[in-house]
Structure 1
Amino acid sequence: MGRRYRLYPTRDQERALTEWGHTCRALWNMALEQRVYLWEQRRHTMRAVEQCRELTVGRAELTWLAELPAQAAQQVLRHLDAAYDNFWNPEHPAGPPQRRKRARRVSVPLPGQAVKVRKVNRRWAEVRVPKLGWVRFRLSRAIGGSIRNVTISRDGIGWHVSFGVATGGRAAAPNGRPGCGVDFGVASSAYVSTEPAPRVKPDGLTKNEQQRLKVLEQRKARQITYAKKHREGAYGNRLRKTIAAIARLKSKEARRRSDFTHKLTTDLAKNHGFVGIEDLRVTRMTASAKGTVERPGRNVGQKAGLNRSILDNCPGERRRQLEYKCDLYGAKLIAVPAFHTSQTCAACGRVDPASRKGCGRLFACVHCGHEDDADHNASLEIEARARRAGGSVTNSTRRRFRAPSFAHGRKRTRETQPAT
């Protein structure tokens, strides 16, 4: 399990953590460049064990690399190994490892053996970081297990420390509660088949915050133009303050989105025996409509707005959370094919595009006359498919259903590793 807490370093500690974060980014890029070069030139696959030996030599010659704790540098190389393992795994959706930009979130990874944690009082605790000493963090909940890995990161709000904890827990026994189907959408964030009304995610920012974000974005554009014209692109203090203010608002929006997602997935896993969802291909759903120069796309702006709305509801993150929360609370997650769920009548099982005219919220079956909210009708169809796939079959859900076969693409192995 993961545990994340707000970290409060001193100014000197914050300065050191910032430098370490950029060092970790530079080390990742250098290690990735070395692996790509060796593969292109010699077809040799380099791993972290071999690079750690060269890391010892580099720390003796480079002062900025020696200032980073050796455990953090070794952890960066292990993470690069994991990134390649995910890329080589044909069942994993990860692509090839990418170089990290300077604008990326600053983070410092450490193994669990390199840190110690002590409790100061009921609300505060401290973590001892190599070469940094004890750093205070807000003990908002008990750690509840042995620490396996640690990551110190910074976002627009401040510094955080995350612990990977081995709790020793096992999957719970089936809770025996009735199942449900959930339709994740844009107008209705989540429509549960057993509920009469949809669950709508509140806006991430209030109207005043949205207006302030718009003003800050305009100010940032003006300041960047001025910097390019008069300062050769160098960022000034005012521009950095503007960027920090935008990051704070974005972080606040992300935290509110995460709060709604966790509450939704926890409630679904706790109160249902199985949860049926659509097996969505989010990457394909949110692909750009720009096209090419020879064949430009149409309605590019509208598609971009739809993509933002889909990603704001984070269907992929909801599925990831349901996968482990269902095991914790004795539920079962069933992903069913998503084809024709919005055009299938939940009453008679007939598929007809005429039953769903346009993108309206009304579903009116042209065969049996059944009328319902389009998203609720889809959630009922998802529940029926989930019952046939892995739940108990009832009289109302005995329609014949055959799942299609999906191509998983070319299997990637070490021998077929492409150049990054």
Structure 2
Amino acid sequence: MKQQRGHKARLYLTPAQQVAADEQGHAARTMWNLIHSWWTMLPKDRRNLAAADAAIRQGRKDLPWLAELPAQASQQVLKTYFRAWVNCWEGRADAPNFKSRFRSRMAIDIPQGRDLQIVRLNRRWGRMWAPKIGYVLFRWTKDLPVGKRADKLNKVTGGRLVKDADGWHVVFRVQREIPEPQPHTGPAVGIDRGITKPLAFSDGTFREHGPWLIEGETKRLRRLEQASARKRHARRKNEPASNRLRRTYDQIAQLRAKAKRRAVDWQHRTTAEAAETFSRIGVEDLAITNMVKSARGTVENPGTRVRQKAGLNRAIATEAWGRTVTLLEYKAAQRGGQVVKVPAPNTSRRCSACGFITPGNRETQARFVCKADSCGYAVNADTNAARNIDHAAGLAVSGRRAGADRQAEKRQPPTRPHAA
């Protein structure tokens, strides 16, 4: 089975390489904006990839600074832009738009894996080639199919340089040939995602974490945010941000990026452990986008408890529930398991012991007590919800198998020939 994955590693650029990478990143963003202007300005019957390719070639001749971006990277910008329109036409994304200088992430594509010339120098360091930048060192944290380990089925097919808040990174596209996973024989589990308890399992256990920033980092972040607020207040209307304000923004972004890296690391480790242990993992099919909408309302109908809802929205966004399910899905598939999404209504109000549903079952936010006369079941509210999710996932899987069996019976040939 062919497996395609991405591997991200940090780059260590010299000052000259840093300048060259920034120039290419700005050129790639400008190339996107020029293609967008050209595409939206022309009539629909004249929009095609061949004409866009000719426009790019002419632009590289007329604007020398645009030629700082390698030719293959320029062609990849066009392919990515056209792919964005295809995603829009098929309803998977919004229409592409201009990329702002300060609100978009710089990226440089290296489409061909052979151009990277990856070499492992020692246990901790590797070296790669970036066009018009030179040989660049990166941290070797995962074995890559390069050198004698590479073949037609196992290789690095390309890469992309991306600039985050803490510097430049490279994302390798890695293709491997792996055996088909055997069916997982472990137990089933339901997982309830929350805020007080990030992950509650139906077996009564929890997966929790502390704050992503230590106390000193949290205080420093608060001071930087207060400083940025003062500098923004002192700036005149329509006046560009000062260098000090931008430096403060960069420091804030670095701290938030550090918190995100720690959160993603915790999610990777937790979801990998769950995929290794359980064969079927049930989760709620949540409409997270609708859950984090603002409660501000309109001028005619203003919302209530807006600040409390904003705090709840930030907490949900910090936990990144959608990313947890995405990691679970591909990790479980690699190990022969499956992730089953079940409807969310009543998972928190239904008693997992007797099935009785009433809003009064939740005594507090963390405590569930069944109000049925013959039950009285008491347990942590998140554990009760996880058990309901596990039960619903089992019914969903059995229903699918029953439907598949009925379809198989319909396809079976008759046991006796039809009468003439």
With the shorter chain as reference, the TM-score category is 0.7 to 0.9
Deviation at 1:99, TM superposition (A): 2.5
> Is the counterpart of residue 206 in structure 1 residue 214 in structure 2?
yes
> Is the counterpart of residue 240 in structure 1 residue 251 in structure 2?
no
Alignment of 1:46-85 (within 5 A): 46-85=47-86
Q: Which is worse superposed, 143-152 or 8-17?
A: 143-152
Deviation at 1:182, TM superposition (A): 0.3
Give 1:377's aligned residue: 384
CA distance 1:98–1:285, shift in 2 (3 Å): farther
Give 2:100's aligned residue: 101
Check whether the contact 1:273–1:331 (CA below 8 A) recurs between aligned residues.
yes
Residue identity in the other structure for 1:33: S
Identity %: 36
Check whether the contact 2:111–2:158 (CA below 8 A) recurs between aligned residues.
yes
| TM-score normalized by the length of structure 2 | 0.86
Give 1:294's aligned residue: 300
Give 1:179's aligned residue: 188
> Is the counterpart of residue 35 in structure 1 residue 39 in structure 2?
yes
Check whether the contact 2:112–2:158 (CA below 8 A) recurs between aligned residues.
yes
Deviation at 1:98, TM superposition (A): 3.3
Give 2:316's aligned residue: 310
Q: 1:218 aligns with which of 226, 250, 259?
A: 226
Deviations 1:215-240 (A, max 9, x none): 101111222333437xx734444333
Residue identity in the other structure for 1:71: Q
CA distance 1:376–1:3, shift in 2 (3 Å): same
Deviation at 1:123, TM superposition (A): 1.7
Q: Secondary structure at the match of 1:228?
A: coil
Give 1:18's aligned residue: 22
Give 1:188's aligned residue: 197
Q: RMSD of the alignment, in Å? A: 2.0
Distance in 2 between the 1:9 and 1:199 partners? 38
Deviation at 1:290, TM superposition (A): 1.6
Give 1:155's aligned residue: 164
Deviations 1:97-136 (A, max 9, x none): 2332222222212203442212222221111111121111
Give 2:265's aligned residue: 259
Check whether the contact 2:23–2:68 (CA below 8 A) recurs between aligned residues.
no
Alignment of 1:362-401 (within 5 A): 362-367=367-372, 368-390=375-397
Check whether the contact 1:47–1:81 (CA below 8 A) recurs between aligned residues.
no
Distance in 2 between the 1:273 and 1:234 partners? 55
Deviation at 1:173, TM superposition (A): 1.5
Distance in 2 between the 1:121 and 1:256 partners? 26
Q: 1:339 aligns with which of 327, 340, 345?
A: 345
Distance in 2 between the 1:265 and 1:223 partners? 42
Deviations 1:2-56 (A, max 9, x none): 1111100111110111111122112222222333334xxx344835444222111
Distance in 2 between the 1:149 and 1:72 partners? 11
Matched pairs, number = 384
Check whether the contact 1:119–1:126 (CA below 8 A) recurs between aligned residues.
yes
Deviations 1:250-287 (A, max 9, x none): 11101011111101111111111111101111111111
**Which structure has the larger Rg over C-alpha atoms?**
2
CA distance 1:99–1:290, shift in 2 (3 Å): farther
Q: Secondary structure at the match of 1:167?
A: strand
Distance in 1 between the 2:289 and 2:395 partners? 27
Check whether the contact 1:209–1:249 (CA below 8 A) recurs between aligned residues.
yes
Runs of 4 or more above 4 Å deviation: none
Distance in 1 between the 2:158 and 2:256 partners? 27
Q: Which runs of 5+ in 1 are unaligned?
A: 394-420
Residue identity in the other structure for 1:87: C
